[in-house]
Amino acid sequence: MTLLQELESRLAAALTATFGEPMKAEVTPAADLRFGDYQANAAMVLAKQRKTNPRALAQEIIDKLDLTDLATADIAGPGFINFHILPAAYAAYVQTLIRDERLGVPETGEGKTIVVDFSAPNVAKPMHVGHIRSTIIGDSLARIARFLGFHVIADNHIGDWGTQFGMILYGWKTKLNREALEADPIPELVRIYREVNAEIKTDDTLLEVCKAELVKLQAGDAENLTIWQQCIDFSKLGLQKIYDRLDVKFDYWLGESYYNDRLPGLVEEFLEKGIARESNGAACVFSDGTKKLEEDPFKVHREDGWNDNPALIRKADGGFLYATTDLATIQFRIDEWKADHIWYVVGVPQQLHFRQLFDAAARWGKTGDFKHIGFGSILGDDRKLMKTRSGDNVGLIEVLEEAVERAAAVIAEKSPDLTSEEAAQIAETVGIGAVKFAELSQNRLTDYVFSWDRMLALQGDTAPYLQYSHVRIRSIFRKLDAPFDPTAHKIHLNEDAEIHLARLLARFGEVLPTILEDFRPNLLANYVLELARAFHSYFEACPVLKADEPVRSSRLALCDLTSRTLKQGLYLLGINVPDRM
C-alpha cells in the first residue's frame, strides 16, 4: 500500500465510525508542502450534503482518526484536513521500498488487455514530426501500462495500402535506384514518391497512369503485387532500424492491408443492419439521431444550420477507405485479442475520424473503451510548423541524427577523456533521450517549440540532466571498497533535505497510476525532474560518504533507492541511462 492508500483507508475507517455507515475516502497530495503532505476535503463535501459546519465536522472526523505511527492532522481554511507524514513513517516506508522490486507501484491492470496503436507511419512517405510524437508518447504509455500490470499489445498499424501506391508503383518501374534502395530503403522510396508527386503537378496524363497502376494493384495484378510487397518489406527494414535506435518495440505490425479481405463483407453488413446507407453510389454512415447535435460526430454546423457529416466506408467506384479499415481493425482486436481498451495515439487533426469511428463501432455492437490520445504540433523557433533547411517537413531521422551529433559535441567538451567508441555510444543515448524527454515533458495537447539548446542543456529540465544525475549517484558507489547491500541497513531521516527526498521516493507509486487517467506522461517527466532536484539538494546538504554510521549507510541506501527510481522512471519514458557521461 502506498502512503496515500494507507491514509485513505484510515480516513475511511474514521468516516465510517463518524457516520455509522460504510464510507470511502479520498486523499490527494497537497498542492503546497507548507500545508502538509496530503489533504482531504471529505469534511467539506459531507458537511455540505448534511448542512453542518465543515470545520466542526473535520474536527469530529480527526477525533476518530487513528494516525498512529503514520501522520498528524490539522484543519485548514474552510475545513480541509491536512496530513503531515511523520519522518519515522517515511523512514519505515522507504525501508519497504528498498526491498520492493516494484518500487511501491501497485498493479492496477487487473488482467485487462490494452491495444496501443501508435507510430503507424505510411509506407514510402517520410515519417514526419507527427509520427515522432506518436511513437514517443505511445511507447511510453505502453511501457507504463505494462508496468502497471496490464496486458499490452503494441500494434503498428502502418499505412501500407493507400492511394500513394499508384505513384510509387509508377516511380518504382521508371525511376528506382536499386542500389540506393538496398543501402537505405526509406529515403529512396521517399525520393521516388516525391519525384512522381512533383511531375504530376506539371503533367496531367501522369496522374491517370498512376491511377491505372493503383487499380491494377487493387485488382490483384501479380507484377504490381510483387512490387508492393517488396516496397513494404524494404520499408519495414528501414523502419525497424529507426525503432531499434529508439528502443521501441511492437508486438505486431498489422498494417492497413491486413484487413483488405474483410472490407467488402463489413460494408455489406453495415448496409444490411442499416448502420450505413447508399448515398450517391457511396456507402455512408449517417447519424442515428440518438445524440445531441453538438455531440453527434455525424453532424456539422455550417452557416445554414446543422448538416449531415457522414463517414464514407465505400466510395462510388467501389474503393474502401481509412474508416472502413479502422472498423475492421476494431473488430479484429476485440475478437482475436480480446481487447478491453484500444488507445489510438494519433494527432489531433484526426479527431473527427476517431469520434465517428467509435460511434459507428458502438452501433455495430463493438464495445470497449476506445480512446483517441491526440497531440498538437511541434513548432520551429519561428513558431511555425517545424521545417528543415530545404523547407520540407522534418523527418524523424534528421531529428535523431542532429540530436546525437549535438550531444556528441556536449560530451566531447565535458568528458574529453572518453574513448571515441564510448563517447559515440553515450552521445546516442543522450541525444535520443533528449528528444524523447523534450517531447514527454510537454502537455501532449499543446503545440511545443522545439529547441536544441534547451533540450540538450546539462542544467535544465532535460534528459541529459536526469541521465547525469543517475551517473552521479552511481559514481558514489564506485568509490566504495566493498559492494553495498541497501537492504541491510536501517533508514534514519533527520535533515529536511533527506525527508524531502524520502517524500518523493514514496510518491513514485502514487504518480504512476495517475498518468493513465488522462494519458499524461508529462506527469512522470515532472516527477523524475523533481526527484533529481531533490537528490541534488540532499547531496549538498547531507554528506554521505563522510557521515558516521549508522547515518552513512542509511544515506547510501537512500542514494541507491533514488538511482533505481530515477532509472525506472526514465525507462518508463523510454529513456536509457548511460554508465558514464
The residues binding ligand ARG (CB under 6 A) are 117, 120-122, 157, 159, 326, 329, 344, 346
Closest separation between CB of residue 240 and ligand ARG, Å? 17
Closest separation between CB of residue 130 and ligand ARG, Å? 7
CB nearer to ligand ARG: pick between 252 and 571: 252
Closest separation between CB of residue 419 and ligand ARG, Å? 41
All 3 cell numbers of residue 45? Answer: 463535501
CB 38 within 8 A of CB 4: yes
CB nearer to ligand ARG: pick between 226 and 351: 351
Closest separation between CB of residue 129 and ligand ARG, Å? 12
424 sits in which H/E element: helix 420-440
CB nearer to ligand ARG: pick between 248 and 346: 346
From the centroid of its chain, how far is CA 581? 27
All 3 cell numbers of residue 146? Answer: 505494462
CB 145 within 8 A of CB 112: no
What is the rounded distance in angstroms from the CA atom of residue 59 to the CA atom of residue 51?
Answer: 16
CB nearer to ligand ARG: pick between 79 and 126: 126
* 3-class DSSP assignment, residue 131: helix
Closest separation between CB of residue 262 and ligand ARG, Å? 14
CA nearest to 286, candidates 311, 268, 269:
311
Cα dist. 87→94, 376, 494, 533 in Å? 10, 42, 8, 20
CB nearer to ligand ARG: pick between 117 and 560: 117
Closest separation between CB of residue 207 and ligand ARG, Å? 22
* 3-class DSSP assignment, residue 177: coil
CB nearer to ligand ARG: pick between 258 and 465: 258
Closest separation between CB of residue 122 and ligand ARG, Å? 5
Closest separation between CB of residue 347 and ligand ARG, Å? 7
What is the rounded distance in angstroms from the CA atom of residue 11 to the CA atom of residue 550?
Answer: 35
What is the rounded distance in angstroms from the CA atom of residue 138 to the CA atom of residue 132?
Answer: 10
CB nearer to ligand ARG: pick between 14 and 330: 330
CA nearest to 118, candidates 67, 84, 152:
152
Closest separation between CB of residue 77 and ligand ARG, Å? 47
CA nearest to 452, candidates 393, 392, 386:
386
Angle subtended at Cα 118 by Cα 112 and Cα 120, rounded to the nearest 5 degrees? 140
CB nearer to ligand ARG: pick between 54 and 238: 238
The neighbouring-strand residues paired with 39 are 28, 82
CA nearest to 64, candidates 43, 85, 49, 36:
43
Of the CA atoms within 13 Å of residue 252, those in its CB half-sphere come to: 17
CB nearer to ligand ARG: pick between 128 and 314: 128
CB nearer to ligand ARG: pick between 323 and 432: 323
DSSP H helix total and E strand total for the chain: 20, 15
All 3 cell numbers of residue 405? Answer: 551529433
Closest separation between CB of residue 55 and ligand ARG, Å? 52
Closest separation between CB of residue 116 and ligand ARG, Å? 11
Q: Put the strands of the sheet holding 276-279 in their side by side order.
A: 276-279, 282-285, 311-314
CB 439 within 8 A of CB 520: no
Question: Please, what is the end-to-end C-alpha distance for the chain in angstroms?
Answer: 36
The amino acid sitting at 165 is F
CB nearer to ligand ARG: pick between 350 and 568: 350
